[in-house]
Amino acid sequence: MQRANSPDHSPSIFERADRVLPGGGFGNFDPGIFIARGKGSRVWDTEGKEYVDFLIGSGPMLIGHCHPEVVEVVNRQMQSGQTFFANNPQGLELAEEIVTSVACAEQVRFVSTGGEADMYAMRLARAFTGRDKIMKFEGGYHGMSGEALMSLFPTAPADYPNAIPDSAGIPASVRDNMLIAPYNDCAYALDLIEKHAQDIACVIVEPLQRIVPPAPGFLEALRQATHEHGIVLIFDEVVTGYRLAYGGAQEHYKVVPDLCTLGKIIGGGLPLAAVAGRPDIMVHFDKIKAGADKFTLQIGTLSGNPLASAAGLKTMEILRRPGVYEKIRAHGHTIIAALQEHLSAAGVPHQVVGDPVLFDVVFTDSPVVDYRGSISGDASLEQRFNQLMREQGVLKPATKFYVSLALTANDMDQTLAAIKYSAEHLLSG
């Protein structure tokens, strides 16, 4: 039992967090900031400081915080129940909309998080093919499973295709069934597939890997090679789904995988994610049709939660309205242009990497085409830039700008002024 606080000392929120939370936080964003509320394009911390928000909950709040139409449908659903551990009309309607809008999606299975979706997609591919090995790309983020935590952020990269565990507690047998390739190296990826084709269950890839876009022909080559060898191609669209375009990266890059994973936006800010794909693969979730030896067990208390489904459906309805994606991309183009203009004027080596809906600055002179390129920049400049932006009232993740529909003209003016100020002071600290 903790001792009561002395009368003359009331602990700060940070002291309280440090007592009960490992590392003083939830394991996500900087534990040095507590966000108390959000509205539209802005958030406020517990000390009352206001920020233009480019963190947007690590991506799901694409239309902004507390959108009144989303709040209305969630409140309405609250009157009918929060969760049932059973089929519900909202979840069914959401599944139907995903099938309508995502090219590879013919059937859908809901889970609660993107990491779960990625884990189940890889397991499903193993059940379908009867093979064990999984090929992923160095620096690709696919959740927190043992397979996903291989060569996600190695500080001393190994020789390909050897995997490096990113966490304690993962058995060596997981590492031995992983093959790691450099993103955007088409020749290496195709050679690796050819050499191990009979053992590879799936190739899992972020179509836009963190902020690094695919090189021309890269995704197409993966699609062709996996098809030829009966390997399941999985697009991790937890980030890109409904962000790059309404149909996600599949629509934007015009490459259709066998399975995809979705999350963030489809839950409208509430916990919901999904695996979607071909019926002959998805059938392994059906014990009667697949048979006991091919059945892939998946159970989740909150899978298809009606509150999250209602929030996701309304969010997706808003995203279908005319001009939405054009507006988001226009904001992104404007911010990218400002970054390039002011960092160049300040003589700061940099590359702006990504897509107008999702990008960041890497402080390097060299092109960034893969994970090793993305970590080649000056980390101290990156940290200082982010801190300067925060001091000017602009909140962003460590390595991203997430652009939202909610940004206003005033938000853009403040953001552009913060970029100019940060660029001018970046080298003087």
Give 253-269 pLDDT, tens digit per residue. Answer: 999 999 999 999 999 99
Instruction: Give the mean pLDDT of the chain.
Output: 96
Q: What sections of 320-408 are H helices per DSSP?
A: 324-345, 371-374, 379-391
Cα separation, 19 vs 164, whole angstroms: 32
Give me 62's structure tokens.
């694409």
SS3 assignment, position 247: coil
Kindly indicate the confidence band of residue 357, based on its pLDDT and cuts at 50, 70 and 90: very high
Q: Per-residue pLDDT for 25 more than 80?
A: yes
Percent of the chain with pLDDT over 70: 98
pTM of this structure = 0.95
3 state SS of 282: helix
Task: Please state, in angstroms and rounded to a whole number, the distance separating the CA atoms of residues 427 and 87.
Answer: 57
Residue 5 lies in a domain: no
Q: Is residue 149 part of a domain?
A: yes
Strands 401-402, 358-362: pairing kind: antiparallel
Q: What pLDDT does 263 receive?
A: 98
pLDDT at 233: 98
**Please, are residues 387 and 44 in contact by the beta-carbon 8 Å criterion?**
no
What is the residue-wise DSSP string for 69-125?
HHHHHHHHHHTT-S--SS--HHHHHHHHHHHHH-TT-SEEEEESSHHHHHHHHHHHH
Residue 209 lies in a domain: yes
From 141, 242, 253, 325, active-site residue: 141
Other beta carbons within 10 angstroms of residue 401's beta carbon come to: 26
Please compute the mean of the pLDDT values over residues 10-29 and round it to a whole number.
93
Integer CA distances (angstroms), 351 to 212, 359, 382, in order: 11, 10, 12
The reply to whether 294 belongs to the active site is: no
pLDDT reading at 173 higher than 70: yes
Which residues touch 313 (CB under 8 Å, ≥6 apart)?
A: 73, 90, 93, 94, 97, 268
Q: Is 325 a catalytic residue?
A: no
Q: Is 199 one of the catalytic residues? A: no
3-state secondary structure (DSSP) of residue 211: coil
CA-to-CA dists, residue 319 to 12, 107, 297, 340, angstroms: 40, 22, 33, 29
Which string of b and e fits 253-275 if b means at least 16 CB within 10 Å? Answer: bebbbbbbbbbbbbbbbbbbbbb
Kindly give, in sequence order, each residue whose CB lies less than 8 Å from that of residue 262, ignoring residues fewer than 6 positions away.
Answer: 98, 102, 114, 117, 237, 238, 241, 242, 248, 273, 274, 276
CA 1 → CA 4, 17, 19, 25, 160, distances in Å?
9, 16, 12, 21, 50
Q: Which pLDDT belongs to residue 381?
A: 97
Q: Average pLDDT for residues 110-125, to the nearest whole number?
A: 98
By residue range, what is the domain housing residue 271?
73-319
- Residue 79 resides in a domain: yes
Which pLDDT band holds residue 9 (cuts at 50, 70, 90)? low
pLDDT given at position 3: 41
Q: How much is the pLDDT for 317?
A: 98
What is residue 200's three-state secondary structure? strand
pLDDT computed for residue 46 by the predictor? 96
pLDDT at 429: 65
Residue 1 lies in a domain: no
With respect to residue 168, please indicate whether it lies within any of the assigned structural domains.
Answer: yes
* 3-state SS assignment for residue 413: helix
Separation CA 275–CA 205 (nearest Å): 14
**Annotated catalytic residue, options 236, 258, 370, 411:** 236
For residue 5, pLDDT over 70 is answered with no
Q: Answer yes or no: is 164 within a domain.
A: yes
The structural domain count of the chain equals 1
Average pLDDT, integer, range 230-251: 98
pLDDT tops 70 at residue 4: no
Is the pLDDT assigned to residue 293 strictly greater than 90?
yes
Q: What is the mean pLDDT of residues 325-342?
A: 98
Q: Is residue 369 in some structural domain?
A: no
Q: Residue 244 belongs to a domain with what CATH number?
A: 3.40.640.10
pLDDT score at 8: 57
**Distance spanning both ends of the chain, measured CA to CA:** 45
- CA 346 – CA 348 distance, rounded (Å): 6
Contact 182, 205 (CB under 8 A): no
Helix then strand then coil, in percent of the chain rounded to 5, is: 40, 15, 45
Q: Summarize the confidence of residues 224-231 as an average pLDDT.
A: 98
At 199, phi and psi to the nearest 5?
-110, -15
Taking 50 as the threshold, does the pLDDT of residue 292 lie above it? Answer: yes
